[in-house]
Structure 1
């Protein structure tokens, strides 16, 4: 009976001490220090961290995490092999707080709890889970980055002009990765089936993608254009650069197929404005005058195309007038291109593909034809009229040029200013049924300027000192716009 009394006294003592022990334990930090030793018998995943310092255990866990995340993953995508790693796919340690829990085991709580923890560790040990995980959305994005280049996208049926109608290029089905299924399958394999040792080979889930437009859609396209327009230009050596730009522009726009609902930007098909892209320096409108820049003359291409689109009654979503009037189309019927702020943009608002044909003739003309499925009645027709609203006559100016000798003159011709409207008139059975104002365009007046040389004259006429008397004969030069 003596041992029972001793045990009772021990228990009473422990109970009395519990309150003070708890207060003492609460005042101590539970955060493990680098040099604190973890109790024996503790595992995190398959890593034995017992009898290691916190710092040593952390290093050992990080090495294991690196070993797991560096595992090679081979992805099979449409018979293409992509090699990556679990780490690159977003696989990482997701419960780093477990190390603090393991380090604190047996070191907190009251005496009874500590005593019990010690017994459990000696008898059974303690194993914490090392959680490695993906975020599914991140995994999906990583798969898209890796696999997208190897997707075989479906190709719509297309058209090719042959000179006697159209050749239809058949559609092709595509094979693309199903990212939702592939993500779920890879996630489940790594998290539930993988042995955490071997490299991983994974077959992505492939689905067949159907083309949106088929041979049947292309068969709707008529061999007769829905709309056509031709403009003319001057030929000859002095116009070679401008005409080469017209040819280059026609070739870049020719042969494009636009499917229903798609939008077409001329600038996107013509840039960059560089010599390497086939552009030559030629006259363009700049600051109320004419100056050479790469691509000069391209606006005749866009203006000709614009008029063909009007006749085809295709929806034009962006169109800009020139800063000054041009000669190759009626007022308000032009379409200027400039930098990234003036563009000709249109949309296929029909039920079939449309084909853009640009034809350049070295004899001095450019033609655009718009082919498609023309559902307009034979009795339907349209006409476009330019209405002159106002005119601003050309003013004349004289400017002295101290860099040119006395007797030198140069005349730069000006441009008349205009305001004009473009009307669309619709006829049914030859009878006018509507008249619609499309837009009003304003073209600036630029003055005719005569430049007079003053170099070598008296000090009042010249801004530069005279160095020698000029013996040059009178010269006259006239610069005209070829826009």
Structure 2
């Protein structure tokens, strides 16, 4: 083996080399320190704003000030294009903004010392966006520009599963959309380049596929839909046994896809309750609201009663857990107490203690005549109604349409300026009686319509007619107490009374003299089944003041004015002057 010896370095040369190395090391340290002065490496910009050699706080302040300087530009609509569809997005509505803290953190990431010393880098801003708001804003243009996916689903024809298989569409991918928007906005705002309005940001359309595949649809048909409706599901609840039939399962088993095209089986509890209406009627009891009724002439609270119902949401969960299993299948249904909407305590708080008004009008012919029969029929419908504080009572709204099916008969009403038979005739007398009962109780008049002609059985001005659905009589209970409406009648009169707690000591009426009196004309009408002869009645205008009293003094007065037309004298026959 040949050994080659390297010459020994002299001591002087060693010392020189050591010195050189020390100088180089010292220079490298100084270079590194210079390059990394501050938290952000030198040469770093964001949107043209120089953040190099700044601390985190200084960089944050510099960037924030630049953003504030260009706040108007940053708030300007951003033009975007989806396929061939162009639109503008409002940054505020989609939460489009620069995240200053995250951007400074990205800018402060370390690079090599020589890159930091001699290079430059532009760090893109970290942009935030409200993805749900963005998706909502782009839904319509994306649908216009692209092609919708065919969403998978499994429906039922009766109890037969019907699959719908998915097909891809052309639309926006959320992740790519957000990335394109972040890269295209904003472009620059620093002193180096000034603000540059971003150009149209192209949002790419891509092929989108429903999450659930055709194979998955077939699997769901075989493993869920078909066994679900193959047999009923037995249910036990509080010792009772009943069944959820296949038809109810088919009506409530939801196998439709979400907006991503994924089918997640569920039982629609509302559809389940509707489909089980007959079965639930047998096992559930409805709650009964409390009310106030007259008993032996005294207002008495009729207590509320709780009901009992199947906890349908829990039953839906139980069903979902077993529908894919083979028969027999059994689930348990929980029963829950259903409280009345209006409780005994609520009724007691109404303060219905005393009669606050009563009004009676008279009629002839007994209750067997159609007109008086109608008065009694509508009185029975309204009897016992309770008007809560702040509530408006509508006679049309409370009774609904009053026709033959509701038990009303033909009787005279004013049509085309004269009396003619029509269903429900006579109800205006009840309306007038009800109006006056509310009037003298001091309740707020909301709507009433006096007759065209004045009939002596009614007080002038303060009376009311009605015609469904165009003419109504309404009053508002503007007191803090409830109001109970009590109706009663005999062979020659109808009475309506209001029960509550007195707010006014007394309510009275003053009338003006009649003025602008007009005389009736004579009219001849062809004699037929619709002709009703009438005597003429004068027309006039009159005022009435409702006066409210408390502690023996007048507190307020309310003026009503009405002009009555003259009712013509109707004669069923030919005009003798025509001969």
| Deviation of 1:301 (Å) | 0.9
CA contact (8 A) 1:169 1:215 kept: no
- Distance of 1:366 and 1:344 partners within structure 2: 17
CA shift digits 1:159-204 (9 cap, x unpaired): 332334244322212334555xx26x7347726x776334352414
CA contact (8 A) 2:442 2:548 kept: no
CA shift digits 1:250-281 (9 cap, x unpaired): 23322333444544332355455445544332
- Pick one of 387, 391, 394 that aligns with 2:519: 394
- Pick one of 76, 79, 91 that aligns with 2:254: 91
Q: Does 1:300 align with 2:425?
A: no
**Cα 1:204/1:147, change in 2 over 3 Å:** farther
**Cα 1:293/1:428, change in 2 over 3 Å:** same
Gaps of 5+ in 1: 1-53, 99-129, 405-409, 463-483
Q: Does 1:133 align with 2:230?
A: no
Query: How do residues 208-247 of structure 1 correspond to structure 2 at under 5 angstroms?
Result: 208-214=338-344, 217-218=347-348, 221=351, 224-235=354-365, 240-247=369-376
- Pick one of 434, 439, 464 that aligns with 2:556: 434
- Distance of 1:221 and 1:341 partners within structure 2: 34
Q: Does 1:143 align with 2:302?
A: no
CA contact (8 A) 1:417 1:445 kept: yes
| Deviation of 1:300 (Å) | 0.9
- Distance of 2:335 and 2:399 partners within structure 1: 39
CA shift digits 1:394-419 (9 cap, x unpaired): 24246586x89xxxxx9743343334
CA contact (8 A) 2:301 2:347 kept: no
- Flag the structure with larger Rg: 2
Q: Does 1:445 align with 2:566?
A: yes
CA contact (8 A) 2:224 2:324 kept: no
- Pick one of 370, 375, 386 that aligns with 2:498: 370
Q: TM-score, normalised by structure 1?
A: 0.61
CA contact (8 A) 2:507 2:547 kept: yes
- Name which structure has the greater RCO, CA cutoff 8 Å, separation 6+: 1
Secondary structure, counterpart of 1:250 in structure 2 = helix
CA contact (8 A) 1:384 1:425 kept: yes
CA contact (8 A) 1:173 1:211 kept: no
Q: TM-score, normalised by structure 2?
A: 0.52
- Distance of 1:345 and 1:76 partners within structure 2: 49
Q: Does 1:172 align with 2:297?
A: no
1:67 alignment partner in structure 2: 226
Please give the root-mean-square deviation of Cα atoms over the aligned residues, in Å. Answer: 4.2
Query: How do residues 416-435 of structure 1 correspond to structure 2 at under 5 angstroms?
Result: 416-435=538-557
CA contact (8 A) 1:157 1:218 kept: no
- Distance of 2:460 and 2:553 partners within structure 1: 25
- Pick one of 286, 290, 293 that aligns with 2:419: 290
CA shift digits 1:299-348 (9 cap, x unpaired): 11111111111122234433222232232222221121112111223344
